[in-house]
Structure 1
């Protein structure tokens, strides 16, 4: 996996969301330009309705939800539906499974000011649902905590 270059992350707040609120229902839409490699992170009360490449839905969506007395960063990644064959779904799953940690680094790094105001969220679990019409690619996977991604921020770029 390539490390995230923080200079490639652009952050946009969708009003009335700010760097400081909300916590409940704070939503992230992360997309990457295939031509430049830049990451575009939108943070709001709703997902960005204008993703980079809607035809393939190659964005990572995540939101903070209260669950059993704690907050969970719950994400989802579209893998396939009836328009995809099984081979293409497998390729998409393998790519996203490999690259999801880099995407999570982009989300956590992009919203680092928020975490400085809510440090207790740094130890919240992160779960990503891979959404597919094929059972073997339709699964939820645990990806650690925001602290793991933020603590590696100074070493995000490979040297």
Structure 2
């Protein structure tokens, strides 16, 4: 896993979202530059589809209410059949390796929200790996944001 560097993270708010409001709807689009290693986090009431490149290596996240609690759902695009199984296996491996960095970046990038609502630290993180290959298409629990500190 790459080491998180806060100086490489650039955060933008869009669609009427502020540093602390609203919690729902609140969508995260995390992209990066392979050349510079910079991370770009857009926080809005919808995903920033215009920021997504053809490689589809973004991390998408959203808060959802489940009963009386909030869960954080993450969506990772492995493939939809356009890659052979070896390429999809590599994409799966990269996402799994870099996901802790991505979750730390989201936690740090939206730290003012977490400061305003400390209970979000304990929200369950559910990861959806989206793939046409059954061995890569799955849902996993990755603990809580408490497991991805930035300090």
Range of TM-score over shorter length:
over 0.9
For 2:59 and 2:8, the matched residues in 1 are separated by 16
For 1:129 and 1:15, the matched residues in 2 are separated by 25
Which TM-score applies when normalising by structure 1?
0.92
1:52 Cα shift?
A: 4.4
For 1:68 and 1:52, the matched residues in 2 are separated by 31
How many residues align? The count is 151
Moved over 4 A (4+): none
1:147 Cα shift?
A: 1.8
Which TM-score applies when normalising by structure 2?
0.96
For 2:38 and 2:147, the matched residues in 1 are separated by 22
For 2:143 and 2:31, the matched residues in 1 are separated by 21
Gaps of 5+ in 1: 155-159
Gaps of 5+ in 2: none
Please name the residue that 2:16 is paired with.
16
Please name the residue that 1:101 is paired with.
100
Q: Is the 8 A contact 1:76 1:130 kept in 2?
A: yes
For 1:69 and 1:84, the matched residues in 2 are separated by 40
Computed over aligned residues only, the root mean square deviation of the Cα atoms, in angstroms, reads: 1.0
Please name the residue that 2:110 is paired with.
111
1:12 Cα shift?
A: 0.2
For 2:95 and 2:77, the matched residues in 1 are separated by 9
Please name the residue that 2:36 is paired with.
36
